[in-house]
Amino acid sequence: MPRRNKDTVVIAVPKGRILEQLSERLQRAGIPAEALTANSRKLVREDEKSGLRYLLLKPDDVPTYVEYGAADLGVVGRDVLMERNYDVLAPVDLDIGRCRMMVCGLPEESLTGERERPLRVATKFPHIAERHFRSRGIPVELIFCQGSVELAPLTGLADVIVDLVETGETLRQNGLVTLEKIADISSVLIANRAGLKLRRSAIQPILDALRD
Ligand code: PRP
């Protein structure tokens, strides 16, 4: 990888299904992003002309790269920022990656009914779930799962799940329903504090273009 000079702006982006939407969103704002959708396994994608360098990361790692300054900017779902605190600036909502953080379960499940034990909640988002049920005054036992969390109520691992719902298709195909909304989620552009000061002339136009 060529050395990063003072004009190189490094942008951390999440690998996966959001990349296509993100590439379109950036290009609509006049920011070169063709490199993001190239059919390649390269984790660093350069746009030589503009001096932009994209890092393709697991979504949960994006704020870590931005917090430590390995990237100046990053694109991340609000869910990741709600689950853990990072010392980053969150300047622009990109209005992509729209989905909802929901409590879901079997249709007969009741969140408010009497029960002899705490409600068992399976989730990849234990802090979000814990905060939500504390504010609702519902005692819970949290069970951490990495993914395919819809299986938890079907197998008796948990009573309900807290998870992202986009189209609702995963819930439908597995016989689950939404029970309660926790938050609307979308992708935001985050920035490293020092990077913004040091490379303001290169970074500010990107923020301005995305804010319009
Ligand atoms: C996410 C989420 C749901 C699904 C929701 O999972 O956890 O399972 O997408 O999308 P839908 O409402 O459009 O069906 P993802 O595909 O990211 O995989 P995961 O289960 O490994 O988290």
Residues 107 and 178 placed together within one structural domain of the fold: yes
Choose between 74 and 16: higher pLDDT: 74
Furthest CA-CA distance within the chain: 64
CA distance 92 to 204: 12
Give 69 Cα–ligand 1 centroid separation in angstroms. Answer: 30
Residue 181: count other Cβ atoms within 10 Å of its Cβ. 12
Q: What is the pLDDT of residue 157?
A: 98
Is pTM beyond 0.85? Reply is: yes
Give 164 Cα–ligand 1 centroid separation in angstroms. Answer: 6
Q: What is the pLDDT of residue 184?
A: 98
Q: How confident is the model at residue 48 (pLDDT cuts 50, 70, 90)?
A: confident
Residues 19 and 31 placed together within one structural domain of the fold: yes
Q: What is the pLDDT of residue 73?
A: 97
170 domain-assigned: yes
Residues 103 and 72 placed together within one structural domain of the fold: no
Measuring from atom 10 of ligand 1, which residue has the nearest CA?
166
Number of compact structural domains in the chain: 2
Residues 148 and 50 placed together within one structural domain of the fold: no
Domain span at 46:
9-97+186-211
Give the pLDDT confidence of 128-183 residue by residue, as tens digits.
999 999 999 999 999 999 999 999 999 999 999 999 999 999 999 999 999 999 99
Q: What is the pLDDT of residue 5?
A: 74
Say yes or no: CB of residue 79 within 6 Å of ligand 1: no
Say yes or no: CB of residue 167 within 6 Å of ligand 1: yes
106 domain-assigned: yes
Residues 106 and 87 placed together within one structural domain of the fold: no
Report the pLDDT averaged over residues 92-114. Answer: 94
Residues 91 and 116 placed together within one structural domain of the fold: no
Residues 88 and 192 placed together within one structural domain of the fold: yes
Residue 106: count other Cβ atoms within 10 Å of its Cβ. 14
Q: Which atom of ligand 1 is nearest to the CA of 169?
A: 14
Report the pLDDT averaged over residues 36-49. Answer: 92
Are 87 and 190 in contact by the 8 Å Cβ rule? The answer is no
Position 212 pLDDT exceeds 80? no
Q: What is the pLDDT of residue 122?
A: 98
Position 61 pLDDT exceeds 80? yes
Report the pLDDT averaged over residues 44-67. Answer: 95
Residues 137 and 192 placed together within one structural domain of the fold: no
Residues 109 and 134 placed together within one structural domain of the fold: yes
Residues 74 and 130 placed together within one structural domain of the fold: no
Say yes or no: CB of residue 114 within 6 Å of ligand 1: no
181 domain-assigned: yes
CATH code of the domain covering residue 73? 3.40.190.10
